[in-house]
Structure formats: C-alpha cells, structure tokens
Amino acid sequence: MEPTEVSFDSLKLHPNLLKGIHSLGFIRPTPIQAQAIPHILAGRDLIGCAQTGSGKTAAFVLPILHKLLHSHLKKNCRSLILAPTRELALQSMDHLKALSKFVHLRGTAIFGGVPMQPQIKDLERGVDIISATPGRLLDHIYAGRIDFADLEVFVLDEVDRMLDMGFLPDIKSILRLLPHKRQNLVFSATLAPDIRRLVDEILKDPVVIQIGRPQTVAVGLRHAIYPVPRHLKTDLLLELLHGQKMTSVLIFSRTKHFADKLASMLERRGLKVSVLHGDRSQGQRLRALESFRQGRNQIMVATDIAARGIDIDNISHVVNYDIPATPEDYIHRIGRTARGEDATGDAFSLVDREEEPLVKDIERALKQTLPRVTLPDFDYKKSAPPKTHHESHHQRPSHHGPRRNHSGGGGGGGSQHRHGRDRRGNRESR
C-alpha cells in the first residue's frame, strides 16, 4: 500500500490515541508519519529525514504515546526528547498534550532562559515524557532531579541544528547517563556526513527513511531575489508589503537588535507586528506567536531561531531581509511557507551587493537560478542617509568568516552569568 493511502486507523495505534487524532480532524498521516510509525511501534531504531513542515514531530510523539500506554507505569521518566531550542521543546510537548487528550500520560518541557521552579515542580510530581534542551536538562540531572533508570525511548529532534549550534559535547554527556537498553530515534531536515557519524555511534541497525530529496524545497514555493542597496532595503520592504497580497508575512533579520528596530519602523507605518528572538521573555515569545498565528498581527519579524520553532500554517510569504549564511538556513527559513499538499507560498530575498556570493551558494545547493526582480516605480538610486552608531555596526554577512551566527543577534543577551552551565542555558534560550 502506498503511504498516501494509509489512514491513522490502519496504523494500529491505541484506540484512545485515535480518538484524540480524530478530535483534531486528522484522517491521513503525512508520508514521514506513515512510514516511520510502524517501524517505531515495532521497536526499531530509526533515522527520519524530511523537510521542515513535513510532520516529523507527530511521527515520533504518536508511537511514543502508544508504547508508553502499553507498558507498565514506572516511577521515572520513560521517554526523553532532546531538541535544540525552547520552541522545539515546547512544540513536542504541545503535540503530546493535543494528541494525548484522552490518555493519562504526563510530560513537561525543560529549557533555559526561564525560572527553574515550575520545571522542578513538574519533575517532583512525576512525568512520563521530558522534552528538553541539553543545557537546562543537564542542570536538572546534576541537581539529582531526573533519573533515567526507566527510560525506554530516546529522541534526537532536529539533530542537524543541534550539531550546528555546538551541542555535541552536551549530547554526549547526556548519552552517558542513559540506560544502554533503549530505543533511539533521530529526526532531521538534512542528513550530512557529520550527522551520520553521530547516529552511527548511537543507533543499532536503524531503519532510514528519507522523504523527498535532501536540500529540496516545497513544490508550490516561488522564489524571488530583489537586488537593492542595503540602505534601501526597508523602503523596498514597505513597497512589497503595501503592493502585494501578503496576508501572513515572516521576515528574517540576522540580529536581535535589528529585529526590534525593524519591527518598530513597521509599526510606525501602521502595520501590526510580532517580534520573536532570544532576548524576548518566554511570555513575550508565546504572545508573539499566538498573535501571529491568530492573524491579529500580519507580520512577524524573527531571527533564525524561528526557522525551526514556528509551527504555523498558512504563512503566505517569507522575506529574507538579510540573506542567511548557508543554503541550509535558507531552506529552513523558506520551509515556513507552502506547507502541506498543494500549498503555495512566496520567498522574497532582499539582496545587496555583498550578499550576492551567499545567493550563489544557495543557487548551487538548489541547482537552479533564482529569478531577479525589480520594481518599476522604485527609486533604487536614492542616496543613503548618514549612519547612526548602531547602524554602522549592523552585522553584514560574510562568506569568508564564521559559518553561522547562532545567537540570532549581536551579543549574548543582557544578563551576566557566573558559570558555564548558565551560559549554555542562555544559549538555548535564543
């Protein structure tokens, strides 16, 4: 039977899970879900590789819930999901809560950048599933609050992003604390050689599922490159926002400082804007996401953390105000639009002369030339205003310099930290 013909009913999931799935209006699994769930239910280690927005989270959350429902209740955590960012840790927990509406399994999300006490209370009450970022998880482990003696399933979610963000030492520290006998699941948007080396150390005779070709984008996605001098990017962005039918727009900025600045400029022009980056509190981030998801704000300005953390359908446009440092980041960013079968969306990139080499790298990765577009009535020769101190330090891309700026912005946040664990927790909060 072809994966597209599979129904959730045919996957032999627990009846109470099916009840929850049906209550959410889901009938047919996505390809990654249809192919991965039977192998996970059979107890196999698995590598699942599919593009952003393909339903990878439910592909492991559903079978984990099923397996835990069929195993004996135990004192300690029975499943651990490790994720690179707080948004992804929360996303897994949101899926768990929605899909386990009619079952009694407890879970909690553990991540840095927020107070410890609510997480401590959840752990003291007892949880079946933990979805966590590495640094804060180790904080709790070293404090004696988490015991993995009963662990059955371990998941590395978005492992490519975790390695890019420098979490390999933390991952290896956590692995040394897990029981040897367990099921291992690895999910990723890409499967580069360094990822294979890591998973070869962890997984035993894994099933490998590849949905679509690596480094591909959605069929219904339209690219457009807008060459423009850097000092005119905001003016051109406003022309695009006012001149095109852009119902829900995600705009990527390289730095946190400029994300705030751009959002303020757009708001002064009468636009409703959400902002998402690592210096926002958890409450601010959740409110920003909800306002954008519900359509109260037409625009969200974000740093790259949102490329993996936002799970919102019907985003009509992704705009790269700054070109990302790698083709992989470009693919992850634009994967926020044209999600789902037959969906369409637009990816606009505002490109100054110094960013052209980065665009060439993207085109080589995609094996296509992206169309260049100019607006006929836009004044591309307008002179630049005098630079302010902050503008002169707005970070430019460099294809010769460091591969990424993972912090999503200039500087490490506003707080001082006394030891390495806090620094690691702060990194995750970005």
Q: Do 37 and 66 share a domain, yes or no?
A: yes
Q: Looking at the domain assignment, is residue 363 inside a domain?
A: yes
- Tell me the torsion sign for CA atoms 334, 337, 338, 339: positive
On whether the CB atoms of residues 326 and 297 are closer than 8 A, the answer is no
Q: Do 158 and 285 share a domain, yes or no?
A: no
SS3 349: strand
Q: Compute CA distances 161 → 332, 404, 406, whole Å.
A: 10, 11, 10
pLDDT at position 101 is 81
Single-letter amino acid code for the residue at 115? P
Query: Of 190, 210, 230, at which residue does a domain stop?
Result: 210
Q: Do 243 and 173 share a domain, yes or no?
A: no
Per-position DSSP letters for 273-285, written without gaps between them? EEEE-TTS-HHHH
Q: How many CB atoms lie within 10 A of CB 382?
A: 11
Per-position DSSP letters for 196-231, written without gaps between them? HHHHHHH-SS-EEEE-S-TT---TTEEEEEEE--GG
pLDDT at position 108 is 95
Q: Which residue has the tokens 């929605």?
A: 98
pLDDT at position 403 is 39
- CA 211, CA 344: separation in Å to the nearest integer? 19
- CA 316, CA 93: separation in Å to the nearest integer? 26
Start-to-end CA distance of the chain, whole Å, equals 43
Among residues 262, 260, 269, which one has the least CA distance to residue 233? 262
Q: Do 231 and 314 share a domain, yes or no?
A: yes
Pairing type for strands 249-252 and 183-188 reads unpaired
Q: Domain of 291: which CATH number?
A: 3.40.50.300
Q: Looking at the domain assignment, is residue 401 inside a domain?
A: no
Q: Looking at the domain assignment, is residue 423 inside a domain?
A: no
pLDDT at position 59 is 92
Q: Do 119 and 247 share a domain, yes or no?
A: no
Query: Of 171, 191, 210, at which residue does a domain stop?
Result: 210
Q: Looking at the domain assignment, is residue 167 inside a domain?
A: yes
Q: Looking at the domain assignment, is residue 67 inside a domain?
A: yes
Q: Do 262 and 296 share a domain, yes or no?
A: yes
Q: What is the pLDDT along the chain (430 residues), one digit of tens a residue?
A: 344 468 888 998 999 999 888 887 787 898 899 999 999 999 999 999 876 667 888 899 999 999 999 887 778 999 999 998 888 898 889 888 888 888 888 999 999 988 999 999 999 999 999 999 999 999 999 999 999 999 999 999 988 878 877 888 999 999 999 999 999 999 987 777 777 888 888 999 999 998 865 555 556 688 999 999 999 999 999 999 988 778 889 999 988 899 999 999 999 999 999 998 877 776 788 788 889 988 999 999 998 765 565 667 778 899 999 999 888 788 878 877 765 555 678 899 999 999 999 999 999 988 889 999 999 989 998 887 766 554 444 444 444 443 333 333 333 333 333 333 433 334 443 3
Q: Do 167 and 269 share a domain, yes or no?
A: no
Q: Looking at the domain assignment, is residue 421 inside a domain?
A: no
Q: Do 257 and 279 share a domain, yes or no?
A: yes
Q: Do 102 and 245 share a domain, yes or no?
A: no
Percentages of the chain per state (helix, strand, coil), in multiples of 5 = 40, 15, 45
Q: Looking at the domain assignment, is residue 403 inside a domain?
A: no
Q: Do 184 and 236 share a domain, yes or no?
A: no
Which domain range does residue 382 map to? 221-393
Long-range contacts of 413-416 (CB under 8 A, 24+ apart): 413/278, 413/279, 414/279
- 154 HSE (CA, 13 A, CB side): 21
Q: Do 389 and 345 share a domain, yes or no?
A: yes
Number of structural domains the chain divides into: 2
Q: Do 130 and 270 share a domain, yes or no?
A: no
Q: Looking at the domain assignment, is residue 335 inside a domain?
A: yes
Query: Of 210, 235, 262, at which residue does a domain stop?
Result: 210
pTM of the model: 0.62
342 phi-psi bin (left φ>0, alpha ψ -120 to 50, beta other): left
